[in-house]
Amino acid sequence: MPRLGALWAVGRKKRIQCLFPRAEGLSLRIWGVEAKICAKIQVSCSCQTLSTVGVLQVGRPNRAPSTKGHRNLQPPVGLCEKMDGLEAEFNLKVVLVSFKQCLNEEEEVLLDHYIASWKGLVRFLNSLGTIFSFISKDVVAKLQIMERLRSSPQSEHYTSLQSMVAYEVGNKLVDLDRRSRHPSSGCRTVLRLHRALHWLQLFLEGLRTSPENARTSTLCTDSYNASLAAYHPWLVRQAVTVAFCTLPTRKVFLEAMNVGPPEQAVEMLGEALPFIEHVYDVSQKVYAEHSLLDLP
C-alpha cells in the first residue's frame, strides 16, 4: 500500500480534503483552486488529460507559479479579443441554437460554424469563473489549431468534419496508435472538442432536469464521469471531483445564461439542447465509422 498524504483545496471559502499517494512535498494550483499535495504531478494540457496550471513549493505559497516544463496555457490574444468584444451581447440560447447551423442538408458538420459555436460556449464557461478554465483554455488552443487548418493551403479539405476525416485518414495524417508525427491533426483536435461538448451537453441537461435544490457539484461530477473521466488517469479524476465542489448553485448557473429568470432558462435549454445533441450524434457516427474514437 502506498503512503497517503492529504490534499486540501480551498475555493469559495470551502476546505475539502481528499487523499493522494505521497511522493514529494509540493503545492499545486489546479484550475484556480489552491491545493497542497504530497505528490509530484505533471498533467498535460488537453481535453484528454487535464492541465497543471502551476507547481509551487510547500512553505512558499505566495511564490509565482513555475511554468518550466509546462505549456503556456494563456489563450491566444486575438481569439480572446474577439470573445471579449461579444461579451456584452452574450446569450446562451443564441449560442446553443447556433449549433443548428453546423449541419447542412447532407448532415455534414461544417467546421466554420462548429468553431464559431464553440467560441460562444467558451464565453459561457469563462463567465462562470476560473473553475472551468481547465476546459476553456484548452478549447481555445484547439480552436486556434482548427482556424490555422482552415486558413492553410489545404483549407478545402477542412470545410466539414467528413471531408477532413477523409483527407487526413486517406493521406495518413492521423496518429492512430500513439502520438508521434501528427500530434495536432484535425481529427485528433476535433475529437477533443467532441468529448468536451458531450460533457457540457450532459451537464446542461442535468441542470435542466434537476430540482431547484440539486447540487451542481453532483450534476457536474456525474456528467464528467459519463464523458471525459474515461480519458483521464485516476489522480486527475480525483482532483477534478475536488474542484467541482466549489461550483456555484444551480440558480447562479441558470442566471449566467442571460436569458431571463431560472424558469425561462430551463425552458430554453429544453428547446436548444437538441441542436448540440444532433451535432454530437453525427460527429460520433463519423468517428465510429472510421474507428477514430480512441485516438491517442
Q: If pLDDT is split at 50, 70 and 90, which confidence band does 253 have?
A: very high
Averaged pLDDT, 195-223: 96
Give the pLDDT mean for 171-179: 84
pLDDT of residue 176 exceeding 50: yes
According to the model, what pLDDT value does residue 128 have? 81
| Measured distance CA(145)–CA(212) in Å, rounded | 39
Q: Using the predicted structure, report yes or no on whether residue 27 has a pLDDT greater than 80.
A: no
Nearest to 111 by CA among 74, 183, 165: 165
Place of cell 461550483: 247
* pLDDT surpassing 70 at residue 65: no
Assign 89 a pLDDT band (cuts: 50, 70, 90). low
Q: What are phi and psi of 207, to 5 degrees?
A: -65, -35
Give the residue ranges of DSSP H helices in 103-215.
Answer: 111-127, 133-150, 161-170, 186-209
pLDDT exceeds cutoff 70 at 55: no
State the Cα–Cα distance between residues 165 and 70, nearest whole angstrom: 30
Cell of 285: 457516427
For residue 133, the model assigns a pLDDT of 79
Q: ∠ CA 100-102-103 to the nearest 5 degrees?
A: 85
| pLDDT tens digit sequence for 90-139 | 789 999 999 999 999 999 999 999 999 999 999 988 888 787 877 788 89
Q: Which residue has the higher pLDDT, 82 or 38?
A: 82
Domain boundaries of the chain, sorted by first residue: 4-57, 77-289
More confident residue, 78 or 240: 240
Q: Burial, 179: exposed, middle or buried (Cβ in 10 Å; 0-12, 13-18, 19+)?
A: middle
289 vs 86, more confident: 289
Which pLDDT value is given to residue 24?
A: 33
Answer whether 208's CB lies under 8 Å from 274's CB.
no
Percent of the chain whose pLDDT exceeds 70: 69
The bridge status of strand 33-37 relative to strand 26-30 is: antiparallel
Helix (H/G/I), strand (E/B), else coil: 138: helix
Average pLDDT, the chain: 76
Average pLDDT over residues 206-211: 96
CATH 1.10.3520.10 at 77-289, yes or no: yes
Average pLDDT over residues 192-213: 96
User: Of 40-54, 57-71, 141-155, 181-195, which has the strongest mean pLDDT?
Assistant: 141-155
Q: Which of 37-51, 139-153, 238-252 has the lowest mean pLDDT?
A: 37-51
Angle of CA points 112, 116, 121, to nearest 5°:
145
Find the range with the poorest average confidence among 215-219, 237-241, 274-278.
237-241
**What burial class does residue 143 get, using C-beta atoms within 10 Å of its C-beta: 0-12 exposed, 13-18 middle, 19+ buried?**
buried
Question: Nearest 5°: phi and psi at 44?
Answer: -75, 160
Task: For residues 53 and 43, give the distance between their C-alpha atoms in angstroms, rounded to a whole number.
Answer: 9
According to DSSP, the residues that pair with 29 across neighbouring strands are 34, 54
Q: 148-163: per-residue pLDDT in tens?
A: 999 999 999 999 999 9
pLDDT at 76: 38
* Secondary-structure percent of the chain, ordered helix, strand, coil, rounded to 5: 55, 10, 35
**What is d(CA 254, CA 282) in angstroms, rounded to the nearest whole number?**
27
Mean pLDDT to the nearest integer, 233-243: 90
What was the pLDDT predicted at 132?
A: 82
The three-class DSSP label of residue 34 is: strand
